[in-house]
Structure 1
Amino acid sequence: MPWMTPLHRDPAFYQLLSDSYTRLLGVPLVPQPMSAADAAEWLYEHAPFAVLAHNTDPDPVFIYGNKAAQRRFEYSWDEITRLPSRLSAEAPNREERQQFLARVERLGYEAGYKGVRVTQSGRRFMIEEATLWQLLDEQGKLHGQAVVIPRTRDL
C-alpha cells in the first residue's frame, strides 16, 4: 500500500491502524465514532496516549508516531519516521523487546506489556500497559506492527 500523504494525515492509514486494532482486540482505537479523517487527526494531534507503528523491513523503521509519542520519545515527525524501532530501547533491553515482538507475530496482539524505553536524549522511562498488534489489512497482508502506550513513568 503506497502512502502518498504523510501517514499522520492519511485516512487510509488510520483505517489500517483502527480496523486491525478493532478486529484483533474487539474494541475501538478512538473513544467515539467520527469520520476517518477526523479520527486520524484526533489520534495524531490530541490522543492522550502514544501510538507508534513500524514497517516490515528486516530492521523495522517507525512509519508513524503521534504527537504524544513524539513528545515522550523526544523526536519530531521527520526524526521518528526515520528511526529504526529497535533504537527506542536500550541495547540491554532489545532482546526482551524482540521476544515480545515475536509473540505478537504469533498471536496477532499482546496487551499489558511493560518495558524500559529511551528518549532521543538518553533518558530512560517505563512504558506500562502497552498493547502491540499486527497491522493486517482486510486481505490479511501484514504492513507492520503498532503499539498503544497508555502510560509511562520516568526512571
Structure 2
Amino acid sequence: MGKMPLTGVGATAEHSKLLADSYRRWTGRDLVPGESNGCGGGMDLSEKLFNAPQVILSHGTETDPVLNYGNQTALDLWEMDWEQLTSTPSRLTAEPMERAERDRFFTQVTAHGYVDDYTGIRISSTGRRFYIMNATVWNLVDEQGIYRGQAATFREYKYI
C-alpha cells in the first residue's frame, strides 16, 4: 500500500533502534529474528522491521498519542499509507466502545513496562473490524531512560 518515506531515514533508523532495544529490554527477546546478531543497526534494522511479517507500530507521548510508526504489515492491515498512519491518533485505531478498555490497558503497560497476550478489537481506516490476538505492548524507553511512547507487535488477527 504505502512505502516508508525516504526522507527522515536517520529518524527512522533511530526509531527502529528504540523499538528493538526497548522490546529486548522488557521481554529479553529480539523483535525480529537475528537483529541482535550483528544484523541490526542502521537501515538494515529499519528494513527488517518495516518488512517484518508481524505488525509493528508505535505512538508517541502526546496527550492524545499519535501513531509515529507502522511497518508495511500494519499499513496493510489498517488500510492506510505512511502519511495517514503517522497522523492518526492511536485511540482512533479502536472502535469507540473499545477505547475505554484500551486506555485502561495502556495504563497497565505504563506501570509494568510491557504486557504480553493482549487481545482486542481494532478498526481499519475503511471501517473493517478485526480482532487482534496475543499482542505484546511495551514502553519505549531510550538509552537515557526517558519514556518515548509505547509500541505493539502481533502476528495473529482475524476479520470480524
* TM tier, smaller: over 0.9
Instruction: Give CA deviations for 1:82-106 in whole Å, capped at 9, x if unaligned.
Output: 0000000000000010011000000
> C-alpha displacement at 1:138, in angstroms?
1.5
TM-score (norm 1): 0.93
Alignment size in residue pairs: 150
Distance 2:92 2:154 in 1: 17
Q: Alignment partner for residue 105 of structure 1, among 95, 105, 110?
A: 110
Cα distance in 2 for residues equivalent to 1:105 and 1:61: 16
Other-structure match for 1:40: 46
CA distances 1:48-107 after superposition (whole Å, capped 9, x unpaired) = 101110000000000000000000000100000000000000000000100110000000
Q: Determine whether 1:52 maps to 2:54.
A: no
One-letter code aligned to 1:40: S
Match of 1:12 among 14, 22, 31: 14
Q: Of residues 26, 29, 42 in structure 1, which corresponds to 2:31?
A: 29
| TM, length-normalised to structure 2 | 0.90
Q: Secondary structure at the match of 2:143?
A: coil
Deviation, structure 1 residue 10: 2.4
Which consecutive aligned stretches of 4+ in structure 1 deviate over 2 angstroms post-superposition?
none
Question: Are 1:87 and 2:89 counterparts?
Answer: no
Q: CA RMSD in A?
A: 1.3
The structure 2 residue matched to 1:140, chosen from 145, 153, 157, is: 145
**Shift of the alpha carbon at 1:5?**
1.4
Gaps of 5+ in 1: none
Read off the aligned partner of 2:116 and give its amino acid letter: A
1-structure distance, mates of 2:85, 2:130? 17
Amino acid at match of 1:66: N
Deviation at 1:35, TM superposition (A): 2.9
Tell me the residue number matched to 1:154: 159
